[in-house]
Amino acid sequence: MPTTLTHLHFQGNCSEAFKFYATTFGGRIVFSMTYGEAPGAAQGSPATRDQIIHARVDLGDDALLGCDVPPDRYEKPQGFNVMANAEDAAHAERLFRVLSEGGTVCMPMQETFWAYRFGMCTDRFGTPWMVNCAKPEEALAAAAQKSA
């Protein structure tokens, strides 16, 4: 079965964002190349020479990919969120606090019928996040029965 990975676009701060994500999630940047290091770099723009053409940060079994895009091709992320699943409520609170610092809170961290903790934010790099600490499936089934 194919896997899916999230590929994020940045406005010249991909390197900073990926260092932040590696630190926040305890991951590791396994690849990072600038436009200036890429094949054909001599034909590239001097303005993008130090920007990231491709990067990957491994986060356990998951990964994020990303790059810096030219200003005329950058579009604000919309229509999706990157989901961070936390192992417990305290971990969810910490992730949300760190991710939302300097960004925008869309939905404050709170308990929901499906999660001990759930919140939505956009980080300071423009990436939209959902942070979730799920309740057990039995709790979801009970909530569904109550609403039926």
CATH code assigned at 120:
3.30.720.110
Based on the fold, state whether residues 93 and 37 are members of the same structural domain. no
Q: How far apart are CA 25 and CA 18, in angstroms?
A: 10
Same domain, yes or no, for 61 and 109? no
Looking at residue 137, its pLDDT comes to 84
Taking residues 37-50, report their average pLDDT.
83
Give the DSSP H or E segment for 126.
none
Query: Above 90 in pLDDT, residue 48?
Result: no
Q: Against a cut of 0.85, is the pTM above it? A: yes
106/145 same-domain check: yes
Residue 64 and residue 1 in one domain = yes
Q: 56 with 107, same domain?
A: no
Q: What are the start-end ranges of the H helices in 3-109?
A: 14-25, 89-100
Same domain for 140 and 87, yes or no, is yes
What is the rounded distance in angstroms from the CA atom of residue 37 to the CA atom of residue 77? 27
Domains in the chain: how many in total?
Answer: 2
Q: What is the mean pLDDT of residues 58-62?
A: 93
Residue 95 lies in domain: 80-148
- Tokens in use for 114? 């499906």
Is the model's pLDDT at 71 over the cut of 80?
A: yes
Percent of the chain predicted with pLDDT > 70: 95
84 and 33 in a single domain? The answer is no
Is the same domain home to 64 and 15?
A: yes
111 secondary structure, DSSP code: -
Among 41, 71, 101, the domain-final residue is: 71
Are both 63 and 101 inside the same structural domain?
Answer: no
Distances, alpha carbon 35 to alpha carbons 66, 73, 110, in Å: 13, 16, 42
How far apart, in whole angstroms, are the C-alpha atoms of residue 127 and residue 14?
11
What pLDDT was estimated at residue 5? 93
Q: Are residues 59 and 2 in the same domain?
A: yes
| Per-chain mean pLDDT for the chain | 93
Looking at the fold, whether 5 and 39 belong to one and the same domain comes out as yes
- Tell me whether residue 52 is exposed, middle or buried, using C-beta atoms within 10 angstroms of its C-beta: 0 to 12, 13 to 18, 19 or more: buried
Q: Which two tokens stand for residue 58?
A: 């491994």
Which residue type is seen at 10?
A: F
